[in-house]
């Protein structure tokens, strides 16, 4: 493995930045960040020892996972759950190290170790960075049993809870909110506020200020919009866009979207909505496919993982059986083995891997 590190270091040091060779490893993910930063996640031929905590005398070996950027390699890990870049260029990694546990790495700072990390998120202005973690649980086969959940925001721990869901941040980046359960009851914590106790909770994707957050709660079988407005029982999502809040209901194969100015229906399950001030984008899951509806466009793939809407144009990352793609309105790039994009101003930067080679494309947006 040291020889592999040396080869990669030489490539990264002497390359002009347009071509990197990863044909000697098994790539599993690619992420692109600001200023051309990239991260390639791959399996190497090196192994890591993974110990059974039930029987400490037993261990087995698995291939190690590494994350390489243009200037540094992180690892080896047993598993990498999430990797990406903050808007200031810092890399973050959510990963598992054998015998130690799960960790969050932000550049050269590691936080951990925990039994599991269920989510990592941050405010748009990076004033707040947080994650949800479990202590005492047993993680196996992508399932977690037992333990207690905690929330860490900017280094401050809150908990313990039986379960934590929906960690969100205000649009100004100075407040946070999350829902949690203890026993059969659900609660909502919004910075210094706390609301108790419900049979179920649905938080929006974001909010303006703690005093005007729109969330739904269930008492027995009835759903209410806080504080006490009765709403239909088939609500499943709340989306906040600009100064509007949309409530999403489901009925068989349709989603119904409603707020105080509009009502509409979408065939399939509405996953997300994006609004740039003039145009609305809908991401819908229907018939095991994902669809983008935007400006009379119907973009359909097996999966659509990422999308960006600005000035009446859409950029998206998608996948089908032939590979990964990036689309810029009516122009499509791909298929590739892996691909990602990053929008900076009027430019779209695309990084892709094809036949083990990492290359870059710069397009006007």
DSSP annotation string for 33-91: -GGG-EEEEEEEEEEEEEE-SSSTT-EEEEEEEEEE-SS-EEEEESEEEEEEE-TTS-E
> Stretch 231-259: mean pLDDT, rounded?
92
DSSP, res 250 = E
Reduced 3-state DSSP string for 189-213: EECCEEEEEECEEECECCECCHHHC
pLDDT of residue 311: 78
Q: Is pLDDT of 2 > 90?
A: no
Residue 278 clears pLDDT 50, i.e. is over it: yes
The DSSP symbol for 12 reads H
99-139 tens-digit pLDDT: 899 999 999 999 989 999 999 999 999 999 999 999 999 87
User: Facing residues of 168 across strands?
Assistant: 177
Q: DSSP character for 3?
A: H
Residue 47 pLDDT grade (very low, low, confident, very high; cuts 50, 70, 90): low
For the chain, helix (H) and strand (E) counts, in that order, are 1, 38
For residue 281, what pLDDT is reported?
Answer: 93
Specify the pLDDT at position 160.
98
| Choice among 142-146, 151-155, 185-189, 319-323 with the minimum mean pLDDT | 142-146
Task: State residue 226's pLDDT score.
Answer: 95
pLDDT at 152 over 70: yes
Q: Does 51 score more than 70 pLDDT?
A: no
Maximum distance among all alpha carbons in the chain? 65
Q: How much of the chain exceeds pLDDT 70, in percent?
A: 90
User: Given pLDDT bands bounded at 50, 70 and 90, which one contains residue 348?
Assistant: very high
pLDDT above 90: residue 7: no
Which residues partner with 1 through β-bridges?
A: none
Give the pair of three-digit tokens for residue 35: 């200023």
CA 70 to chain centre: 22
Contacts of 32 (CB under 8 A, 6+ apart): 38, 85, 340, 341, 342, 349, 350, 351
Which residues lie closer than 8 Å to 297 by C-beta, 6 or more apart?
314, 329, 330
The model's pTM is 0.88
Residue 17 has pLDDT above 70, yes or no: no
Structure confidence at residue 270 (pLDDT): 96
Q: Where are the domains of the chain?
A: 235-339
Among 317, 316, 265, 307, residue whose Cα is nearest residue 286? 265
For the stretch 62-103, pLDDT in tens is 689 999 998 999 999 999 999 999 999 999 999 999 889 999
CB 255 within 8 A of CB 263: no
Mean pLDDT of the chain: 89
Question: 270 and 280 in contact (C-beta within 8 Å)?
Answer: no
């Amino acid at each position: 493995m040291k020889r592999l590190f040396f080869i990669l270091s030489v490539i990264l040091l002497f390359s002009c930045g347009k071509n990197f060779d990863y044909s000697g490893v098994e790539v599993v993910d690619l992420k692109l960040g600001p200023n051309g930063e990239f991260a390639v996640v791959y399996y190497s031929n090196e192994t890591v020892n993974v110990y059974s905590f039930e029987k400490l005398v037993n261990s087995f070996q698995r291939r190690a996972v590494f994350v390489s950027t243009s200037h540094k390699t992180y690892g080896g890990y047993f598993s990498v759950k999430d990797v990406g870049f903050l808007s200031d260029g810092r890399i973050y990694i959510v990963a598992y190290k054998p015998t130690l546990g799960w960790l969050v790495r932000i550049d050269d700072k590691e936080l951990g170790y925990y039994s599991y990390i269920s989510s990592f998120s941050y405010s748009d202005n990076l004033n707040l960075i947080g994650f949800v973690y479990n202590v005492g649980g047993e993680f196996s086969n992508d399932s977690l049993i037992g333990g207690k959940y905690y929330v860490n925001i900017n280094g401050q721990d809150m908990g313990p809870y039986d379960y934590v869901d929906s960690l969100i941040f205000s649009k100004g980046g100075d407040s946070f909110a999350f829902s949690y359960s203890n026993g059969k009851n659900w609660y909502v914590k919004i910075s210094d506020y706390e609301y108790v106790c419900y049979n179920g909770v649905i938080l929006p994707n974001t909010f303006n200020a703690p005093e005007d957050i729109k969330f739904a709660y269930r008492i027995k079988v009835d759903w209410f919009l806080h504080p006490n407005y009765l709403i239909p029982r088939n609500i499943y999502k709340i989306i906040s866009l600009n100064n509007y809040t949309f409530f999403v209901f489901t009925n068989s194969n349709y989603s119904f979207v409603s707020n105080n100015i509009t009502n509409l229906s979408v065939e399939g399950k509405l996953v997300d909505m994006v609004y740039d001030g003039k145009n609305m984008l809908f991401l819908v899951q229907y018939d095991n496919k994902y669809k983008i509806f935007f400006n009379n466009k119907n973009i359909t793939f097996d999966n659509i993982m990422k999308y960006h809407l600005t000035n009446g144009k859409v950029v998206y990352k998608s996948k089908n059986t032939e590979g990964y793609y990036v689309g810029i309105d009516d122009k499509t790039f791909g298929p590739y083995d892996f691909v990602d994009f990053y929008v900076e101003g009027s430019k779209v930067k695309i990084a892709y891997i094809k036949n083990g080679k990492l290359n870059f494309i710069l397009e006007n947006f």
